[in-house]
């Protein structure tokens, strides 16, 4: 079945502003009371989200077997600028996204408080990722998670300092938060007041996290873990840029089999933007080799 093509892309409207497809309401006779209309939006099960959570948890549990395993995996995969740029260990940019603060303290004893790092990231990934993957689809969601997370890793390696070891899925999680913000913005007319409130919540959440990162850097702040604001910022910016281009944009039309329902169809399919994803990934590679050049000067 061929989707109807709008005269102009919703994001390219000129003045006077044409109505966004998501603003359109079914025409009803004057005086007739407004009726609730069901909206069907294609969705998928959040399989990728569950797999990502499982990988992060399994890696954490493997490290919990012993302090030695914990230390070895940390030193092998943590994001560390000199190892990446001087030794060519580029795999760390990806591996560090699946490592978190270990469960052992400096004395080799269990310290459950350190698991908060994993719990917080996985909670946000579950809370936001489930709904985002349903709307974005498996491939588009995974692209944003991985490439957004890699943008955070590259930013952390470039600006985080030569002696810093950084781990965590925070950059990728921030990319997903950025994706939700962009999706809500693209569909702001449909979402209305609820969408505006959610966007404000996302902004406040980002501000709180960045503020917490700055506070954690202050000597005597009492924080056991330093928050990698460069990783967060890189992931957020990467997610915003990617999603602005590849986000699904829904066009509403009458459902062909259920006239009393509306069908939301994506008029911005991912296949139209593989070129942009390739350019984005190429930019990350270029930035990585900029880091190599600067480190070896």
pLDDT by 10-residue block (mean), the chain, 297 residues: 42 45 48 58 90 97 94 95 96 96 84 86 93 94 97 95 88 94 89 86 84 67 70 95 94 70 82 96 97 92
Contact 229, 212 (CB under 8 A): no
- Does any domain span residue 26? no
**pLDDT score of 259:** 66
CA-CA distance, 265 to 252, in Å (whole number)?
A: 6
Task: Residue 222: give its domain's CATH number.
Answer: 1.20.1540.10
pLDDT at 22 (0 to 100): 46
Residue 2 inside a domain? The answer is no
What lies within 8 Å, CB to CB, of 230 at 6+ separation is 152, 155, 156, 158, 159, 160
Q: Identify whether 24 is part of a domain.
A: no
Q: Which structural domain, as residue segments, surrounds residue 258?
A: 40-295
**Per-residue confidence (pLDDT) for residue 149, from 0 to 100:** 97
**pLDDT score for 12:** 41
Is 100 strand, coil or helix? coil
236 domain residue, yes or no: yes
Catalytic residues: 170, 232
In a domain, 212, yes or no: yes
Residue 251, pLDDT score: 81
Is 5 inside a domain boundary?
A: no
- Overall domain count for the chain: 1
């Amino acid at each position: 079945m061929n989707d109807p093509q709008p005269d102009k892309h919703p994001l390219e409207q000129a003045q006077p502003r044409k109505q966004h497809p998501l603003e359109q309401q079914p025409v009803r006779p004057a005086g007739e009371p407004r009726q609730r209309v069901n909206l069907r939006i294609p969705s998928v099960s959040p399989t990728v989200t569950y797999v990502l959570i499982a990988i992060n948890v399994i890696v954490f549990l493997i490290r919990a077997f012993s302090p030695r395993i914990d230390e070895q995996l940390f030193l092998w995969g943590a994001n560390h600028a000199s190892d990446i740029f001087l030794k060519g260990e580029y795999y760390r940019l990806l591996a560090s996204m699946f490592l978190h603060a270990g469960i052992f303290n400096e004395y080799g004893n269990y310290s459950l408080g350190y698991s908060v790092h994993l719990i917080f990231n996985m909670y946000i990934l579950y809370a936001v990722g489930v709904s985002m993957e349903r709307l974005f689809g498996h491939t588009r969601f995974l692209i944003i998670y991985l490439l957004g997370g890699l943008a955070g890793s590259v930013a952390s390696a470039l600006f985080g300092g030569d002696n810093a070891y950084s781990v965590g899925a925070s950059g990728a999680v921030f990319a997903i938060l950025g994706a939700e913000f962009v999706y809500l913005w693209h569909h702001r007319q449909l979402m209305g007041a609820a969408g505006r409130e959610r966007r404000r919540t996302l902004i406040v959440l980002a501000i709180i996290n960045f503020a917490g990162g700055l506070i954690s850097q202050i000597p005597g702040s009492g924080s056991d873990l330093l928050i990698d604001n460069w990783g967060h910022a890189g992931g957020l910016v990467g997610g915003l840029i990617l999603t602005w281009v590849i986000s699904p944009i829904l066009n509403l039309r009458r459902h062909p089999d259920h006239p009393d329902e509306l069908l939301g169809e994506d008029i911005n399919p991912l296949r139209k933007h593989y070129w942009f994803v390739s350019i984005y990934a190429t930019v990350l590679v270029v930035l990585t080799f900029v880091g190599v050049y600067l480190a070896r000067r």
